[in-house]
Copies of this chain bind each other. A is one copy, B any other.
Amino acid sequence: MNESLRAHRPAASMPGHVVELGPEPPLRLDCGVDLGPFRIAYQTYGRLNDERSNAILVCHALTGDQYVADPHPVTGKPGWWSEIVGPGRVLDTERYFLICANVLGGCMGSTGPVDIDPATGRPWGLSFPVITIGDMVRAQARLLDHLGIEQLFCVLGGSMGGFQVLEWAASYPERVFSAVPIAAAARHSAQNIAFNEVGRQAILNDPDWCGGQYWAEGKKPHRGLAVARMAAHITYLSEAALHRKFGRNLQDRPTFTYGFDAEFQVESYLRHQGSTFVDRFDANSYLYITRAMDYFDLATAHGGVLANAFKGTPVRFCVISFSSDWLFPTQESRAIVHALNAVAANVSFVEVVSDKGHDAFLLDEPEFHATLNGFLEGAAEHRGLPRRGEQ
């Protein structure tokens, strides 16, 4: 690997844990490929108790990573869920043992298209096998095996993290005591796929993408990836939130200048979102992870009936949606709840009233935090975990 290639690979110098799993047995992917060995990069917070009964797996979203509550190693910004993770917080690190792993196909240390294909000695690029949410979850299960954790106290996550939560509950019901899918759905909708496809086309159409081998060419498809991020970012916010934050306010100017610079604050904000994103994310990972989301459809994977995915489940569920989330609207969460009710599962459901859109799960939303806290308290009691302050 030459120096420029190394310099472009953020995974190489990521702080935290990295474990190589497989090759015996390799990970059998949904596409039929056997992947192994493969790497999983992860962070942990808190301490696993002697009964190994207080582990919480946090599943991250499309552009998230394992740095739930650590400063991001590239941007230096606080971890993406610092809001609720820490001593005494909702995800109390004095009480629970938190694990968060970079998803398979990601670019923060877990095996993904940015890595070197052992067969060729060159970065995988588009020859990396296409992965699914199921593959991500099976890789996480292998990580738990490695950590000696038989059952999770809870698996939770928002957006694509919620996909993984549902997949965990469906595939490993005996390994999950409780599950919290947040701002999620049991399948990726046509509109969801459409937005992902716009982002992918923006990347694939960038000449610097170089057929996926941009690392080897010393280039990066910054422009395409930035446009993809911009388009996606709009879907994370509600119209009301955009209006409240920016309205039609102008950027650093008293009146229209009649040009194509960022005239409005919302343009400047979006451009900033696009340009900072490319520093921390890999374009091919973006292709692979969005594709994994598109493939997600839990009902089809269970004979066309979503309830079948949860038949006889012992898992305690808490399904949470946000009223202004138009990417994964409440009706999608309701469909999950209906399926769980149909199999008499233990489920509670809360639609949090918020005008912050899909991103609400990452933000300061007291009602959401109170809901999550209440559910975890109840589940902890049922699991026989010590009360707060007693451990």
The contact string, 1 if C-beta is below 8 Å from chain B, for chain A 20-36, is 00000000001110000
Is the C-beta of A287 less than 8 angstroms from some C-beta in chain B?
Answer: yes
CA distance A207 to B31 in the complex (A): 35
| Chain A interface residue bracket vs B | 35 or more
A334 proximity list for chain B (CB < 8 A) = none
A220 to nearest B CB, angstroms? 13
Contact partners of A280 in chain B: CB under 8 A: none
> Digit string of A102-139 for contact with B (CB within 8 Å is 1, else 0)?
00000000000000000000000010011000000000
Interface of A, helix, strand, loop or mixed by DSSP: helix
Is A206 on the interface with B (CB-CB < 8 A)? Answer: yes
Asked if residues B194 and A266 are in contact (CB atoms below 8 Å), the reply is yes
B242 contacts A194, C-beta separation under 8 Å: yes
Contact present for A258 and B129 (CB under 8 Å): yes
Supposing A239-B190, A258-B30, A295-B256 touch, asked if A234 and B202 sit within 8 A by C-beta, the answer is no
* Contacting residues, chain B, for A224 (C-beta < 8 A): 205
CB pair A202–B204 under 8 Å, yes or no, is: no
Q: A129-B258, A243-B189, A248-B187 are in contact. Are A267 and B194 (CB under 8 A)?
A: yes
> Once bound together, how far apart are the Cα atoms of A207 and B248, in whole Å?
30
B residues less than 8 Å from A242 (CB atoms):
189-191, 194
Query: Hey, what's the 0/1 contact readout for A242-274 against B, CB within 8 Å counting as 1?
Result: 110111100000001011101110110011001
**A residues with CB within 8 A of B:** 30-32, 126, 129-130, 187-191, 193-195, 197-198, 200-202, 204-207, 223-224, 226-227, 230-231, 234, 237, 239, 242-243, 245-248, 256, 258-260, 262-264, 266-267, 270-271, 274, 287, 291, 294-295, 297, 300, 326, 329
Given contacts A194-B234, A205-B227, A256-B295, list 5 more A-B pairs with CB under 8 A: A130-B259, A189-B243, A197-B264, A201-B271, A207-B207
